[in-house]
Structure 1
């Protein structure tokens, strides 16, 4: 019979594939920026924030911080590299005011990650305590990221239009949340279950709104560029 570890590995691989799809989803936006040689009305905030999120989850997935989370390590390492590339593209095609802001935020993130890594590895001597400390930090960042679509959902309710909330992205976020919740339940990990459980609820809410307001949507209305750029949410 197939054991729990094997099932969990398969689920984790599926989660890696879905998460990779979410990481690569901003590619059309970045291609548009490169083609226009300008960031237009797009904002770097989602990518800059996801750099920190991926960095912390990469650290969490390391075997001396948490056990049996290699697949969390792999996808977030890939995501970290991709988000750094996205941020660099924004940096290249931004004006100096925006570049200074990106530099400041990234510098703060690097300092924060360095402090967390140093303190955890130097002062915390057991894997279980490291898991708890880093896991709590990761939950805080993930919850903050899952709150970001609230502005779009509020706009959907107010305008009775889902034009500003891409269906496929909401569906992918739902699948991503469910997969990682299952992964964490197979070998109990509350630090993965909690943020992805909240992410699943957020995605379900978006899908319900989509069903409710689909018929009242004016698809001919022009979409502001800043609203077509979506943040990436994952474990």
Structure 2
């Protein structure tokens, strides 16, 4: 009964995480349409890529015992493909400065995963120590992934706009983190349960901010409008003066 319940929670966690990983598709569809990243940050997607890579490795039989964490492998493997696609699209349309930022973060992320995989595969010779080592690194990456939306949260508070913090991204983050926390507890695996103790409260924070700012329409800068009107008035007066001068001559 316990194994069936754990598997059922894992399947539901897969479904919720799939919706979570797929939520940015609308944002990147707009990037493709406008051929512009419009200044939003790529950091959350890079951190999510590291998290997916590490937990895919964690769930494979090399680290875990046989296929005890098969649901973890399937969703994080798919998440790796999606996050890599998002990063590739962002990199293609980003400015030269933003491309440098992406490369500066992405290269160390790939190196961290590579070093973790090599050390766990060759220096440790039993599943327990491999799980402890990979799980510890993945725990840090997962907490960073759930914390990375704080970059967007700061932007939301400053601009009072939820344009780059979609509701469904925050909603599915809450559902997915809650389900994976339950899965980790049922599996007696703190490396799966612990990160979601951070993810759930942060997702709730994002939903609260969304509800607060979703109805606010940014007003145009009145000072700028006054300056534009003043310039137009001066131009109109200049045209009238020129016409008067031409008429007199």
Fold shared per TM-score above 0.5: yes
Judged with a 3 Å threshold, the aligned counterparts in structure 2 of structure 1 residues 208 and 32 are, in CA distance, closer, same or farther, namely closer
- Residue 17 of structure 1 is matched in structure 2 by 15
TM-score of the two chains, using structure 2 as the length reference: 0.77
Distance (whole Å) between structure 2 residues aligned to residue 107 and residue 202 of structure 1: 27
C-alpha displacement of 1:104: 3.6
Is the Cα contact below 8 Å between 1:56 and 1:138 reproduced in 2?
yes
Q: Determine which structure has more spread, i.e. the larger CA radius of gyration.
A: 2
Distance (whole Å) between structure 2 residues aligned to residue 66 and residue 57 of structure 1: 10
C-alpha displacement of 1:64: 2.1
C-alpha displacement of 1:194: 0.4
- Residue 31 of structure 1 is matched in structure 2 by 29
1:6 aligned residue (4, 7, 11)? 4
Distance (whole Å) between structure 2 residues aligned to residue 145 and residue 83 of structure 1: 12
Judged with a 3 Å threshold, the aligned counterparts in structure 2 of structure 1 residues 40 and 158 are, in CA distance, closer, same or farther, namely closer
Higher relative contact order (CA 8 A, sep 6+): 1
Distance (whole Å) between structure 2 residues aligned to residue 168 and residue 105 of structure 1: 26
Is the Cα contact below 8 Å between 1:163 and 1:218 reproduced in 2?
no
Is the Cα contact below 8 Å between 1:58 and 1:74 reproduced in 2?
yes
Structure in which a larger fraction of residues adopt helix? 2
- Residue 172 of structure 2 is matched in structure 1 by 172
Distance (whole Å) between structure 1 residues aligned to residue 96 and residue 34 of structure 2: 17
Q: Between Structure 1 and Structure 2, how many residues are aligned?
A: 216
TM-score of the two chains, using structure 1 as the length reference: 0.81
Is the Cα contact below 8 Å between 2:46 and 2:87 reproduced in 1?
yes
Unaligned 5+ segments in structure 1 are 223-235
For 1:41, what is the secondary structure of its paired residue? coil
Judged with a 3 Å threshold, the aligned counterparts in structure 2 of structure 1 residues 156 and 36 are, in CA distance, closer, same or farther, namely closer
After superposition, give the CA deviation of every residue in 1:2-50 in whole Å (9 maximum; x if it has no partner). x211121111111111101011111111111111122222232222222
- Residue 47 of structure 2 is matched in structure 1 by 49
C-alpha displacement of 1:111: 2.0
Distance (whole Å) between structure 1 residues aligned to residue 112 and residue 153 of structure 2: 31
1:220 aligned residue (212, 217, 221)? 217
Q: Which moved further from structure 2: 73-82 or 108-117?
A: 108-117
- Residue 120 of structure 2 is matched in structure 1 by 120
C-alpha displacement of 1:155: 6.8
- Residue 103 of structure 1 is matched in structure 2 by 103
C-alpha displacement of 1:220: 2.0
